[in-house]
Every structure is written in C-alpha cells, then in structure tokens.
C-alpha cells in the first residue's frame, strides 16, 4: 500500500509516500535580496561604531550612494526535502529576485513524512541562506490529485513572496510498470559500457579493484561498433582523453606487486602494469591502497592492507539526454574490467577471457 500512518507523537500525523512524484518547480516572485539586507546591516553597524567623530565626505554621503544603481545579488534555488533527506534541487539562477527555473523532476519516494518541504535558498560566497519555506501536507499529496498553485513562502522578510509549483503523486500499486514486477530484456553490459565510453563528451570516471588496460570490451557485437569501439580498454580511454574528455581512474593498489620485480603481485590485478600504461598520458590513473584502521595492531593492519581491497566498482560517463542536454549514466555492481571476467547474457563457455 502507498499509505501507512505512523504516530511518532500526538502532534504529528506521518504518512509514508511510497510511489513516484512528478514535480515541476516553475518560478518565484518578489524574493528578498538577502545580500542587500546584510550590506545595510553591516553599514549600520559600522556607522554606529564610528560615532560622531567621523567626518562624512560629500563624495560618500548617503544621497550620493543612492545615485548608484542597486545591484541585485540574490542567487535563488530550491531544495525539496522529505523528512531530513534532500530529494531534488533546482539550478541556481543568478542575480534575480524573480527566478524562473521551469525544471521538471521525477522523484521515486518511499519516505514517511508529515509534509514535503520546499526550501527557497540564496546561494552566495559565504554559503547558502534560507529565504523561506513552503510545506505541502503529505495527506494532500497522497490523494494523487494534481496540485498546481502559487504558494506563499513562509519565513521570508517580505510578505508577498510566492512560488509556483506543479506536482502529482502516483502510488506504486497504481503504476502498471510494477504490477508484475520490473521485467526487461537482458542487456549486454560490456557492450553498453563500450558504447557509453565511446560516446562520452565530458567525463569518464572508473573505479575498480582491478582494471586491466588490455581488456577488449566487445568481442561479439550485437550492433554496429561506435568510433573507437574496436580498441582495447586502455587504448580507448587514451583515445577519448585525447579528444578532450576528462578520464579519471581509481584502482586498488596491491601491496604485493612491485614496479620492477614481481609486477603481477599475489592477486595478479595488473595494477602496476595498468599504471605504467597510462603514465605520461592525459589519463589520470591513481593506485589507491586499502588502509586499515589505526586502532588495529601492526599485524592486522598488514593483513587488511594486503588481502582486502576497496571494492567499489563503477563506471560513470556523460551520455545523451533529452534534446541538447547531457546526463550522468552509472554502471554499478560486479563490474570487473579485468582479465578473466568477460561474459555474455548466454553465459556460454569460450576460450578467450582476456
């Protein structure tokens, strides 16, 4: 069910919003200029501290200051908070008290909340400052009815500040996608990674306990290979970095492997070989050890540092989104871009595991 009630205390009626929220944060009007207010407060403070001994120059008089155009320093954005979790955030609009974000969010929710809170904030060099908030009760959201309205921003130093929001909640049991579970066709992970890396324009970030530059990502293509798709992983990453894509790699540092002798190490992760391959290239490859807690004894620290790895495995790239925009695509899970790990959805046996 999409609705569960929790009684944390007598004054709080909490509902579990379990489903998908379609949210549009359109615009806000008449926001206060917090930076200008702070400047005025500082000016009053300095004026009070200077006392009557200060002689005011006609060139810096109050009337002269008013002749200058007041700069609008407000840089507003909105954060959407469910309980204590930020589930969405708009971009920052520079120098305006009437921002127009026009941003759409699809937010999966499974949060016990009393209300959704929209925090309107001002971003400046000293950090963020809350202009005001809007609370929409969970009991209203969970009905699934379309909510489209102007909401007053509470806590603002001005009384006429408001924000335009459009939102509609769909409980998970009413979503046809979930009626019979989430089913999809089997993909080809390594082939998808190859296409994503080949088509990246801005960044390629790879983290792994073992990443071998000689791995060939696609050996039995099911669709035409992209430009550079026939290259081995290391050559492909160098190729993309030479195109101007930022390529960063974090690979586990096997303490038993050495730069000169016994390069393969006990775990045979090829970490030193991979590091040398990318040395003096535009690809940044860093070997990172697994350091044990300083609270452990010396022997245990050596065991942890030798036998245990950091085990995050992911590939992050920018990919095509709607229109001319880009998005971040993440490949997560048991992704070992090293020798002996290649597989296909059919899981058949084959000889070439490099």
- In the chain, % of residues over pLDDT 70: 75
What distance in Å separates the CA atoms of residue 70 and residue 190, rounded to the nearest whole number?
A: 56
What's the pLDDT score for residue 24? Answer: 98
User: pLDDT tens across 13-65, in order?
Assistant: 899 999 999 999 999 999 998 765 555 554 555 555 555 444 444 444 444 44
What's the pLDDT score for residue 12? Answer: 61
Q: Where are the alpha helices (DSSP H) in the chain?
A: 34-50, 62-66, 138-141, 189-198, 233-242, 271-278, 298-307
User: Whole-model pTM?
Assistant: 0.50
165: CB partners within 8 A, 6+ apart: 23, 24, 25, 26, 118, 134, 136, 147, 148, 149, 151
Residue 331 pairs with which residues in a beta bridge?
Answer: 315
What's the pLDDT score for residue 318? Answer: 96
What distance in Å separates the CA atoms of residue 293 and residue 296, rounded to the nearest whole number?
A: 6
By the 8 A CB rule, do 111 and 133 touch?
no
Residue 206 — pLDDT band, cuts 50, 70, 90?
Answer: very high
What's the pLDDT score for residue 127? Answer: 75
Q: Is 66 exposed, middle or buried (0-12, 13-18, 19+ CB in 10 A)?
A: exposed
The mean pLDDT of 105-119, rounded to a whole number, is 96
Top pLDDT among 221 and 193 is at 193
User: pLDDT tens across 234-243, in order?
Assistant: 999 999 999 9
The mean pLDDT of 263-287, rounded to a whole number, is 84
What distance in Å separates the CA atoms of residue 349 and residue 328, rounded to the nearest whole number?
A: 34
Residue 189 pairs with which residues in a beta bridge?
Answer: none
The mean pLDDT of 161-175, rounded to a whole number, is 94
Nearest CA to 329 among 204, 187, 177?
A: 204
Q: Where are the alpha helices (DSSP H) in 116-270?
A: 138-141, 189-198, 233-242
CATH number corresponding to 5-33+72-178: 2.60.40.150
Domain with CATH 2.60.40.150 in the chain: 5-33+72-178
> What SS3 class is residue 236?
helix
What distance in Å separates the CA atoms of residue 181 and residue 339, rounded to the nearest whole number?
A: 34
CATH number corresponding to 189-332: 3.30.870
112 pLDDT exceeds 90? yes
What's the whole-number average pLDDT of the chain?
Answer: 82
What's the pLDDT score for residue 300? Answer: 78
72 pLDDT exceeds 70? no
User: pLDDT tens across 280-320, in order?
Assistant: 999 999 998 877 777 777 777 777 666 777 777 899 999 99
The mean pLDDT of 269-280, rounded to a whole number, is 88
HSE, side-chain direction, 13 A CA sphere, residue 295: 0
Residue 8 — pLDDT band, cuts 50, 70, 90?
Answer: very low
| Residue 350 CB neighbour total at 10 angstroms | 11
Residue 136 pairs with which residues in a beta bridge?
Answer: 116
Top pLDDT among 336 and 112 is at 112
Domain with CATH 3.30.870 in the chain: 189-332
User: pLDDT tens across 126-154, in order?
Assistant: 778 999 999 999 999 999 999 999 999 99
What's the pLDDT score for residue 57? Answer: 46
What distance in Å separates the CA atoms of residue 51 and residue 36, rounded to the nearest whole number?
A: 23
Q: Tell the residue number behind the tokens 């550079």, with chain if given.
A: 228
What's the pLDDT score for residue 67? Answer: 47
Residue 344 — pLDDT band, cuts 50, 70, 90?
Answer: low
By the 8 A CB rule, do 114 and 138 touch?
yes
218 pLDDT exceeds 50? yes
261 pLDDT exceeds 60? no
């Amino acid at each position: 069910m999409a609705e569960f009630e929790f009684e944390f205390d007598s004054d709080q009626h909490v509902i579990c919003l379990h489903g998908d929220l379609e949210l549009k944060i359109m615009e806000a009007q008449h926001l206060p200029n917090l930076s200008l207010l702070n400047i005025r407060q500082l000016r009053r403070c300095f004026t009070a501290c200077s006392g009557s001994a200060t002689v005011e120059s006609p060139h810096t008089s109050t009337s002269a200051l008013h002749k200058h155009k007041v700069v609008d320093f407000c840089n507003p954005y909105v954060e959407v908070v469910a309980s204590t979790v930020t589930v969405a955030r708009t971009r920052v609009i520079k120098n305006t008290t009437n921002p127009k974000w026009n941003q759409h969010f699809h937010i999966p929710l499974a949060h016990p909340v009393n209300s959704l809170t929209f925090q309107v904030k001002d971003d400046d060099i000293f950090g963020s400052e809350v202009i005001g908030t809007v609370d929409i009760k969970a009991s209203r959201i969970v009905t699934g009815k379309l909510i489209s309205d102007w909401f007053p921003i509470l806590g603002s130093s001005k009384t006429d500040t408001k924000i335009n929001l459009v939102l509609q909640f769909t409980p998970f049991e009413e979503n046809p996608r979930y009626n019979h579970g989430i089913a999809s066709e089997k993909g080809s992970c390594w082939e998808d990674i190859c296409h994503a890396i080949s088509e990246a324009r801005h960044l390629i970030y790879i983290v792994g306990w073992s990443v071998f530059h000689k791995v060939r990502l696609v050996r039995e293509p099911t669709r035409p290979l992209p430009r550079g798709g026939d290259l081995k992983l290391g050559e492909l990453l160098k190729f993309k970095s030479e195109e101007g894509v930022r390529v960063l790699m974090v690979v586990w540092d096997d303490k038993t492997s050495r730069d000169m002798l016994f390069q393969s190490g006990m775990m045979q992760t090829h970490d030193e070989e991979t590091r040398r391959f990318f040395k003096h290239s535009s690809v940044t490859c860093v070997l990172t050890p697994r350091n044990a807690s300083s609270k452990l004894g010396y022997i245990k620290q050596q065991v942890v540092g030798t036998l245990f790895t950091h085990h995050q495995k992911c590939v992050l790239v920018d990919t095509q989104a709607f229109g001319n925009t880009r998005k971040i695509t993440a490949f997560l899970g048991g992704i070992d871009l090293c020798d002996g790990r290649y597989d296909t959805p059919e899981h058949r046996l084959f000889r070439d595991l490099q």
